[in-house]
Structures are given as structure tokens and as C-alpha cells.
Structure 1
Amino acid sequence: MKNILIIGGSYGIGLELAKELQTENNVFIASRTNENLSGLDITYIPFDATTDTLDTSILPAVIDGLIYCPGSINLRPFRGLKLETFESDMNINFFSMVKVIQNLLPQLTASEQASIVLFSSVAVKMGMPFHTSVSASKGAIEGFAKALAAEYAPKIRVNVIAPSLTDTPLAEKFLSNEEKREKSAQRHPLKRVGTTGDIAQMASFLLNEKSSWISGQIFHVDGGMSTLLVNS
């Protein structure tokens, strides 16, 4: 069985992925809370990615898969954004992720071929108003992932999933009523909002040996938003 570590797996996409992986893998979840984890066949590690250093000694000597889920959605006009907002977004989305990966390098390189899955946003490719802060931090992830994939090939594969708005607790305020949900759905060529299952299925594939010839890629799981015109 593979050893899979999910950073931030107590809700949303991480939780859905843990449910998907638990039967055929040894799943470890490092997150701020163990809420929603009861009944799952996983090992829980208390961990706040923005403030803590992960104690790798309590993990197996080999980590075959790493998924970094913590993130932010700060959508505001640029003129009203303070530098602190950019710093906060960079910290949770990028710098904390870098620290986790650096700490886990010995365990990742001990795997026959480890897989790292990171998360970006459809806004990085499209250029959306009010997304300057989140797009900056998510764009950093995409550039970082390609460089890391090149540096550690073939030992570690690194890929990125770039979703559109997905129905998670993080996006709750943007989907808080039926009108908002319908407007968001209509912006997508496939006419619906993404689910945690949509994203978790892609992440599961990228962790699997079926994707062993894939690395350094950005996968837009976004209902067609980034590449297709919406029918009028």
C-alpha cells in the first residue's frame, strides 16, 4: 500500500480525496482540525500549515503521494487591497506549501516515484477582475511546480489542478443562495458548479501509477471555462 499525505484534509476536496484513497492506501491527514474525520481509516496529525513545522519523524520513512490543499479566495478590487492581503495569500497558498515540501524531501525521494499534487485556479490562465491577490499566489504555484518537476524527474512527479469555483466550505459565500449558484453555473460551458468529487477524482488519478508518465502539467478541471466559449 502507498503512503499518502494530505495537508488540509478535514473538509472540502481534501476530505473527499481521503474518502477516495483510504481503502487502498495508508492515508495521513495533517490539518488544523480532525472534524469530519471520524469513521475514516486514516491517521490524523494536528498541523497548521501557516504556523507549524511538520514533524516528519511521526510519518513513514517513505511518502509516495503528497497533496497540499490549504488555500484562500480573496476577491476584491485591487485599489482596496493592502499589501498584507497579498502577503497572507502568498503565505497560505505558496510559502507554507514550499516549507512542507522541503521538509518532506527525504521521504518523497525515498519513494520509487513519488507524486505531488498542488492546486491553482482557473483565474491564473484567464485573467479575472478582482483576482489579483489570489492569482498572484496561485500563479507562483504553477511556475514552481513546473520547475520542481524538472529538477526532480524522474524521482518525483509534480502536477497542478486548476479548478474553477468549486462547491467547498472555502467557496461558501460565493454559493450561499440559489441565485448565486445558478449565475455561477451559467458562466461555465458545462452549466454547473464543480463538486469536490470532480476535483478529487483528478487528484486520485495523478497519485496513481496510471499517470506515471505525466509530470509538470497544469490540469484545468473547470467545466470548460478556461478554453470554451459559453453558449448564449
Structure 2
Amino acid sequence: MSDKYLIVGATGSIGSNLAEQLYSLGKKIHLVGRDEEQTKSLSEKFNCDYTILNVLDDGFVEKLRSDIEEVKGIAYCVGSIDLKPFRMVTETDLNKCMKLNLYSAIDLIKGYQESLKKNKGSIVLFSTVAAQRGFTNHSIIASTKAAVEGLTVSLAAEFAPNIRVNCIAPSLTNSKIAEPMLKNKVLAEGIAKAHPLKRIGEGKDSASLAKFLITDESSWVTGQIIAVDGGRSKLS
């Protein structure tokens, strides 16, 4: 039996906060990231193993499994912000976004399905508020993340009662991938005001829910798409 939690995209705002929160609970974690310096630094901070890889590379699951074979839970904290007017959207744009957010998540889950089943494990995926709310220029990421939501409920049904599958749908979060948008103070203030709670999300906001969903604290929760969005999906 394994009690180790796999965090893919560990150097991001949500992934790193999740690692910190699981570590504070005494949980064993394995970090996965592209940036060796940042990932190694986190591994030293949290006294854990790590793997350097890119989920866009072929065979990444086999490489990861050579480092860690058994897991109790997976948090796929990989994401992107692909914004473009619809008239400019190409098949290449869609394929790259789907590969990063959906296909690689599927490959990862397949690679660890038997381990998760044996360990009565949990999977946490990530969507976006834009999958449910209509936003201009979001056709690439919204359609891709909507597919992730569909995958969540499908796998939750198929894997029950042995593996739980849930999805978190954040609004814009203060992170590296959002930095190009948020460095414009006027734009950042406008986005913050569009949320009923009048602020941009922080990594710890979604990480706190991910911690709950990936551990046995949420042992009776599966197939859920849960918004962490400052109220934007329902109240604005």
C-alpha cells in the first residue's frame, strides 16, 4: 500500500501551495515539474522526492513510473491560459492545449490506475470558471477545460467505488502563467472587481480544496466540479 501523493505541476502557484499544505499534515509527496532548480528547491523544503519532466513529451509516464510506481493520489495541477480571438484559432492551438490539459492527464491516470485502485486513491483535476461562464477570446481553453470536466464525471462513475475523481474550477489566480495579464495594474484591478469577493485568487485558495479532495478527508466526495472563483461563476 502507498500513502504518497503525486503533484504534477508542482512549481506552479497551486501545486506548490498544495505541496506545502500536504507536507504540513505529514503526508508523503512526490513533486513533478519542468524547472529543475525550482522543483529541487521545493523538494528540499518539503523533504520529498521529485522528477523533472515535461508532460508534453512522449513517454513521460514511463519516465515518471521509473521514479515512483505506487501512489495514493494524483493532483494534476498543470494548466495554461490560451486566449485568442476565435477567427485566429488554429488546429495547432487546440491540439497543444488539449495535449497539455487533457490527453496528458489521461495518460497519467492510465499509468497509475491500478495503483490508485489498490490504494483506494483520489484524483484531482483542474478546470476553469471559463468552462461554464462565457468570456471573450476563451474558446481554446474553455472548450479544453470543459472536456476535463466531462472526463471527471465519466471517470468518477467508471472508477467508483475504488477511486474518487473530482475537479476544481478556479477563476484567474495570481500565478506565473497569469503574470502577463496581472502585471497591468489597471487590468488586474478590473478583473478583481469583476468578482463578488473583489480580489484575484491565490494559489492557496484552490490548494486548500485540493488538499481536502485528494486526502481521505473527502472520502464521500466524487464526481464533483467545484468552483473556487470568488463567486464569479454564480454571482456576477
TM-score interval, normalised by the smaller of the two chains: over 0.9
Q: What is the 5 A alignment of 1:135-146?
A: 135-146=142-153
Aligned residue among 100, 103, 111 for 1:95: 103
In the other structure, the counterpart of 1:69 is 77
Q: Which whole-Å CA distance do the structure 2 matches of 1:209 and 1:46 have between them?
A: 28
In the other structure, the counterpart of 1:48 is 54
Normalised by the length of structure 1, the TM-score is 0.94
In structure 2, runs of 5+ residues without a counterpart are none
Aligned residue among 186, 204, 212 for 1:179: 186
Q: Which whole-Å CA distance do the structure 2 matches of 1:42 and 1:179 have between them?
A: 40
Q: Which whole-Å CA distance do the structure 2 matches of 1:101 and 1:210 have between them?
A: 21
> Residue 78 of structure 2 aligns to a residue in which SS?
coil
> Residue 74 of structure 2 aligns to a residue in which SS?
strand
CA contact (8 A) 1:66 1:117 kept: yes
Amino acid at match of 2:3: K
Q: What is the 5 A alignment of 1:199-210?
A: 199-210=206-217
Aligned residue among 124, 129, 132 for 2:136: 129
Deviation for aligned residue 1:60: 4.4
In the other structure, the counterpart of 2:203 is 196
In the other structure, the counterpart of 2:33 is 31
CA contact (8 A) 2:13 2:202 kept: no
Q: Which runs of 4+ in 1 moved over 6 A?
A: none
Q: State the number of aligned residues.
A: 227
CA contact (8 A) 1:17 1:201 kept: yes
Q: Which whole-Å CA distance do the structure 2 matches of 1:183 and 1:199 have between them?
A: 21
CA contact (8 A) 2:121 2:164 kept: yes
- C-alpha distance after superposition, 1:29-76 (max 9, x if no partner): 122123142422221111211104223142143x11100111111111
Aligned residue among 140, 149, 160 for 1:153: 160
2:14 maps to 1:6 = no
CA root-mean-square deviation: 1.3
After TM superposition, the structure 1 stretch with the greater mean CA deviation from structure 2, 20-29 or 138-147, is 20-29
- Report percent identity of matched pairs: 38
Deviation for aligned residue 1:138: 0.4
Q: Which whole-Å CA distance do the structure 1 matches of 2:198 and 2:176 have between them?
A: 21
- C-alpha distance after superposition, 1:62-108 (max 9, x if no partner): x1110011111111100011111011100101011111111111211
- C-alpha distance after superposition, 1:193-213 (max 9, x if no partner): 000010100100111222111
In the other structure, the counterpart of 1:166 is 173
Q: Which whole-Å CA distance do the structure 1 matches of 2:166 and 2:134 have between them?
A: 21
After TM superposition, the structure 1 stretch with the greater mean CA deviation from structure 2, 32-41 or 5-14, is 32-41
Q: Which whole-Å CA distance do the structure 1 matches of 2:12 and 2:129 have between them?
A: 21
Aligned residue among 219, 223, 235 for 1:212: 219
Aligned residue among 58, 62, 70 for 2:67: 58
> Residue 235 of structure 2 aligns to a residue in which SS?
coil
CA contact (8 A) 1:22 1:42 kept: no
